[in-house]
Amino acid sequence: MRRSLIAILGITLSLAAADISGQEISARSASIRLGGRMHAQYSASSASSAANDFFFRRARLTLDVTVGDFLSARLQPDFASGKTKLQDAYLRLNFTDAFRVSIGQFNRAFDLFKLSSTTDLSVIERDGRVEGVSGCTGVDGACSYSRLTEKLGFAGRDQGLRVDASVGRLSFLGTMTNGTGPNTADDNDSKSYSGRLTFAATSNIDISGQYGVHDYVADGSVNEYAEAWSADVEVGVWRDGLHVLAAVARGDNWKEVDAEGDAVTFLAVQGLASYYVPLGGARFVGIEPLVRVSYADPDNATSADGAVIFTPGVMLYIHGKNKIGFNVDGLSRQTGTTEFSFKMQAFLYF
């Protein structure tokens, strides 16, 4: 871990000394654009089993490679866990500006919040995690929108093929992947599929619908499929006044079965609203108060197993996407128990 962080620091200082902001590096027949992010977090939970903790949430370098107009690529390793793990890693064929095909590892075409970068999101944790809380049916942890979509294999990174295309106000993102998640070989001969269709209703309102099929191995050898759908809307843009993200998802919670052996059904709804106000100061250029409300029911047929997460917070912007955030994630479960998690995170983006 220490060696990885020293390497990152050394590269960052070298970049600063060379002042290569916006500059490309030539390598053989390609040009390489180097960037990265580092997120340092402190979290404290009201749950008795959780420890207050300082840690690196993300420490990533990003290499965007261009080989002519047709071929490009991205390589993004993460060093935050003490072990190097690939995040994005793909080759992309740019047939036209409106039609591109990628092969490698990337986010599946599902979940507006997962498809939004952590460098833009105003909440610190997408899943609203509260350390020390467990028990969400099938997926454990604290029940929330992104907790269900990612742990059930509909959202998050995976390896496979991706197509993105657009015509007029319509855009499409489709993925065919292994279904086993990042940096993991497939465990069967089936594949998972996701498709997302977006309509730009106005210059700052996007309405999307998506459908996902996740393949998995049941009873040790049987290939099964789980389905989920989602609809969402985005109003506004990042760091410019009011910005709203809202989504609803419903599908198979295949990690939990009923008495007949069939997957139970989950329902999740989430809304996130923020308002960016420019400050124009020498140290802080903007402030962004925010609020998130997430409701998740992992099993519609069972009562008192859902939860609501309420997150007030604020982001203070230093420059561009460099910022400091403060969130309080309050988890209220239908069982009557409530827990809280305070999070502070510093975002370095270069």
- Across residues 212-240, what is the average pLDDT? 94
Q: Of how many residues is the chain composed?
A: 350
- Among residues 302, 152, 306, the alpha carbon closest in space to that of 228 is found at 152
Q: What is the DSSP string of 152-191?
A: TTSSSEEEEEEEEEEETTEEEEEEEE-SS-TT---SSS--
pLDDT digits (tens, 9 = 90+) for 175-225: 999 999 999 999 999 999 999 999 999 999 999 999 999 999 988 778 999
| Phi, psi (degrees; rounded to nearest 5) at 42 | -120, 130
Domains of the chain: 34-56+101-349 (2.40.160.10)
Residue 27 has a pLDDT of 76
Q: Looking at residue 12, what is its pLDDT?
A: 44
With 90 as the cut, is the pLDDT of residue 93 above it?
yes
Average pLDDT in the 252-277 region? 95
- List all residues 6 or more positions away from 50 whose beta carbon is below 8 Å from its beta carbon: 130, 131, 132, 341
pTM of the predicted model as reported, rounded to 2 decimal places: 0.90
Of 12-16, 83-87, 109-113, 121-125, the least confident:
12-16
pLDDT value, residue 23: 63
